[in-house]
Structure 1
């Protein structure tokens, strides 16, 4: 049996489809390089309904990203760069400072927000076959750590990251970061000590995929993620999509004491989407359990976790994330693609989410509900091709006995985005 085992392992690996060697196809450092420009005009207004100061910020941002190719040979080397600039158009003293908006960081005394931002970063990279090792400015988009790109400028990290695609359908990621740069600030002082992570996603076939990841934020928490997606077609222009996402977290004792909360949380969601031509109908259920709610994002020097502002790959995450302690929530949503009506590029989504059973210091059955609406148009051709206009309106209401968990109000988001490929 001992002699047979290596042969069995070898036969299994030989049966796994490999992918073409990307490094052997390298055209060189310059010939494979790209420069992309991205312009974003963003406005968010939050009208709170509990006497809090309303918040609003408006800004114009520009992001230039350069990606070099790789030098030729068995081992390729390259370098990437990013430059970000933003100017504040509105949101001065008294109106800026909402953690959920965070276009321009306020002064340490809570005073006037920054009037402009300029940020720069670079990344050195090395590629062998289909495996890339990089160090420098990183913007991961993984379920266990997703740098926030949904506001004006981009959140980023500094550190080392490995991405491997040696086997068809399998992607392996691992990293160790020692710094996080806030999306609304140009300094590197958000308080992160270190963050390590690793995991993989695998496309088993054209209908089923899965992913598993784990991370550890020093002195804060460790977290595990499991995700699965099933795509089942039903005849012409119809299919059912099942999407499961789940996190298990455990807080560091000192961090939990500082927040005056428990240490453990498990949260998961299951969404079923029925897509029929231009219509998408979705139902979802989400459940949080444990001695605390689900913690993610924020910045270490503001008692946040520091693991990425979009690290919540759950179905019921809109304005509210429905992630309170012991909270359970249900969603019904509908989406319409107007292309069949002669308006390609125009889409509309509406969703209603209701949560209850929220545990706070006052109750074990706090409630919240949100009505979400978004209309989006993307220019399909011409000089303004890919220009996107997006208008979003949310109505969130939270019961008074859950006010220490969340706050309700009305929110408007208006974004105009234009990506441009220079070369």
Structure 2
């Protein structure tokens, strides 16, 4: 008989806490206030999605204030602490019919709200190098990852244990029962029942790392994830990196996630993997990647596991994760620091997906051209002020998705409060 997720979590916690401690972070604690950190991130974000098939465009502009506080831990064998955050998003421009809901929720008349706010906190306990945290938090794992790609970040409510008792090894185990999306201040509007996560990553050496995770979203799907990342340095200025990611998913019967991605709701399964090879030379990098999706349905995510829980090579505007899809990527990266502009970078990518199974077509296609510039001020009074401008040009067969051009612009400035 297989153990339940709760018993497996309890066994994992017990095993982790029984490991011999190495250098203990808790023994070096300076105190609740002494090790505390508080920041205020000012984020100005603009979003424009221009549909080419006659659908109403989405255009939204907003200003965010993202405050975070992380206390230190009290001294002693067991340390106690608190993490907290406060979020405020203010609408600068939008309107009924062109609002983007991931920025601002709408009122009863369909108009975007003028502002939205949220606050949350979590208590934490540390023994040696193991931390248990309960409350509102921002988990970031391949099978449960909060989304912070719009105006305000997504958050989750639950318990997460993170252990680093063995050098190079990080283990995670948790259970979450609430999901607060980016554009909605409600604590759990999507009514997440529960998601259990278990796994970890191990840095074997400076050039090799591996990861393995499992998650179970109640009434949605069970998922496994694996990663293998290997770097081959040729010199100080040249290296070849291989990054392999794979997800295997077993959808629950009648799962809305399976039905939304081409399944029939009965014993649907899915496997998706990507392999990327990146050759870096000086200020330049060339990337080739292949991604393949097989099974009874496409690869669904953000059904309780967060909008960033897709650690795959070909994920841009499109994720190229539809039923039976095969996609190729060719991309180029440039670091302008070598040419006298430190902090400025550029990325170009072209991705084409084919063999997509949709109603009436077993070989539908989609393609995307992606461009992004980013600049981070390196010194002076405006140090860490960043600018990011990204553009996606997306085209697809009619049964796959609407053609569109998308622009996202971000200006961010972090302020150290404490």
The CA deviation string for residues 382-422 of structure 1, in whole angstroms up to 9 with x for no partner, is 1110111011111000012x33xx32210011110111222
Matched residue SS, 1:365: strand
Could you tell me the TM-score, scaled by structure 2's length?
0.92
Q: 1:273 to 1:19 in 2, by over 3 A?
A: farther
Aligned match for 1:74, one of 73, 77, 97? 77
Whether the 8 Å contact between 2:21 and 2:128 is mirrored in structure 1 is: no
The CA deviation string for residues 251-306 of structure 1, in whole angstroms up to 9 with x for no partner, is 11122575462421111100000010110110000001111111001xxxxxxx12
Aligned to 1:39: 42
Whether the 8 Å contact between 1:368 and 1:399 is mirrored in structure 2 is: yes
Matched residue SS, 1:316: coil
Q: CA shift at 1:110, angstroms?
A: 6.9
Q: 2:321 matched to 1:308?
A: no
Whether the 8 Å contact between 2:21 and 2:129 is mirrored in structure 1 is: no
Aligned to 1:300: none
Q: CA shift at 1:74, angstroms?
A: 0.4
Q: 2:66 matched to 1:63?
A: yes
Q: CA shift at 1:19, angstroms?
A: 4.1
Aligned to 1:208: 208
Aligned to 1:378: 376
Q: 2:400 matched to 1:409?
A: no
Q: CA shift at 1:47, angstroms?
A: 0.7
Whether the 8 Å contact between 1:226 and 1:245 is mirrored in structure 2 is: yes
Distance 1:178 1:18 in 2: 31
Q: 2:263 matched to 1:261?
A: yes
Name the count of aligned residue pairs.
395
The CA deviation string for residues 305-361 of structure 1, in whole angstroms up to 9 with x for no partner, is 121000111000000000010000000000110111111111111010011000001
Aligned to 1:52: 55
Distance 1:180 1:321 in 2: 22
Distance 2:281 2:20 in 1: 33
After superposition, residues 360-379 of structure 1 pair within 5 angstroms as: 360-379=358-377
Q: 2:271 matched to 1:271?
A: no
Whether the 8 Å contact between 2:62 and 2:151 is mirrored in structure 1 is: yes
After superposition, residues 271-350 of structure 1 pair within 5 angstroms as: 271-297=276-302, 305-350=303-348
Aligned to 1:166: 165
Aligned to 2:29: 26
Structure 1 gap ranges (5+): 1-12, 298-304
Distance 2:166 2:63 in 1: 42
Matched residue SS, 2:337: helix
Matched residue SS, 2:149: coil
Q: CA shift at 1:211, angstroms?
A: 0.4
Q: 1:399 to 1:110 in 2, by over 3 A?
A: farther
Distance 2:283 2:109 in 1: 47
Whether the 8 Å contact between 1:97 and 1:106 is mirrored in structure 2 is: no
Q: CA shift at 1:115, angstroms?
A: 1.3
Structure 2 gap ranges (5+): 1-15
Aligned to 1:355: 353
Q: 2:236 matched to 1:236?
A: yes
Q: 1:234 to 1:219 in 2, by over 3 A?
A: same
Distance 1:194 1:44 in 2: 32
Q: CA shift at 1:91, angstroms?
A: 2.0
Aligned-residue RMSD, C-alpha: 1.6
Q: 2:230 matched to 1:225?
A: no
Matched residue SS, 1:254: coil
Aligned to 1:124: 123
Aligned to 2:90: 87
Matched residue SS, 2:338: helix
Whether the 8 Å contact between 1:45 and 1:411 is mirrored in structure 2 is: yes
Matched residue SS, 2:192: coil
Matched residue SS, 1:323: coil
The CA deviation string for residues 142-163 of structure 1, in whole angstroms up to 9 with x for no partner, is 1111000111101001111100
Whether the 8 Å contact between 1:65 and 1:83 is mirrored in structure 2 is: yes
Could you tell me the TM-score, scaled by structure 1's length?
0.91
